[in-house]
Amino acid sequence: QLQADFNFGQFCQAEMIPASLGTAKTILAESESSSGDHGRLDVLGFFLLRNILTQCVLAAGADETSSVFMTESRYSTVKMGCEVLLGNLEAQSPQTVVKKYLSERATKQYLTFSDYNPEARAIV
């Protein structure tokens, strides 16, 4: 369910709508009842790790002994996406999580971000 409704790659590239995070929030809430406090983040963390590894495998080098996916720039983007999701998804609305991610992306790119300015959102 999470894989079908939420694409971490799109999140990291700022190409998704906040509603896509709704499924992730639902899965976190459902895993709370069966796994306790740490179980929620473990489920999301495992999903994120699996997604990152899949992207690395898909971008494997021609000799299949290395990945060309995890460059320094991509690592920075993936790390920021993981930190924003793991640190905010439980307590914040999907809209707030996306705004936080866009704001952090803008800061890393030395851009000004305004949630109320469509042009600023599009540039990030």
110 contacts: CB under 8 Å, gap ≥ 6: none
pLDDT on residue 99: 92
pLDDT on residue 40: 61
15-50 per-position pLDDT tens digit = 888 888 887 787 777 766 555 555 566 777 787 888
pLDDT on residue 122: 81
Low-confidence ranges of the chain (pLDDT < 70): 1-4, 31-41, 60-67
> Rounded to an integer, what distance in angstroms lies between the CA atom of residue 7 and that of residue 2?
8
pLDDT on residue 27: 72
Nearest CA to 41 out of 3, 83, 76, 10 is that of 83
pLDDT on residue 103: 93
